[in-house]
């Protein structure tokens, strides 16, 4: 995926390691953001209690290029600083909680 020059190149997870845990550790140590449709990475972030790596969680019907490029660039643009510091971003944002209504 061709991202803004401000951001590093994109790598497929298979180039990094054989497991989610290996990719998670590598991304944290290397300063990369994980872009995924897989809920395991946000779970790993919560379980480890670490500040990183950041995770962009794509909840799209087709979370692959070229359909994902626009949402990814929008998320990077809107939440870039937070993602550089350690965050979970989701696109599209979750719907409002029914518990907060009324």
- The answer to whether residue 12 sits within a structural domain is no
- The answer to whether residue 53 sits within a structural domain is yes
pTM: 0.75
Query: What domain range is 61 assigned to?
Result: 33-93
Please report the pLDDT score of residue 38 as a whole number.
87
Cα–Cα distance measured from residue 44 to residue 57, given in angstroms and rounded to the nearest whole number: 13
Q: What share of the chain is helix, strand, coil (3-state, %, to 5)?
A: 40, 10, 45
- The answer to whether residue 61 sits within a structural domain is yes
- The answer to whether residue 41 sits within a structural domain is yes
Please report the pLDDT score of residue 8 as a whole number.
56
Cis amide bond preceding 66, omega within 30: yes
Asked if 99 and 92 touch (Cβ cutoff 8 Å), the reply is: no
- Look at the chain and report how many structural domains it folds into: 1
Asked if 56 and 41 touch (Cβ cutoff 8 Å), the reply is: no
């Amino acid at each position: 995926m061709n991202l803004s020059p401000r951001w590093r190149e994109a790598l497929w997870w298979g180039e990094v390691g054989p497991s989610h845990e290996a990719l998670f550790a590598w991304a944290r140590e290397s300063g990369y953001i994980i872009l995924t449709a897989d809920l395991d990475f946000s779970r790993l972030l919560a379980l480890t209690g670490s500040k990183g790596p950041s995770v962009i969680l794509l909840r799209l019907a087709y979370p692959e290029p070229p359909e994902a490029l626009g949402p990814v660039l929008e998320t990077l643009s809107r939440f870039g600083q937070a993602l550089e510091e350690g965050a979970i971003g989701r696109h599209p944002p979750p719907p409002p909680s029914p518990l907060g209504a009324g």
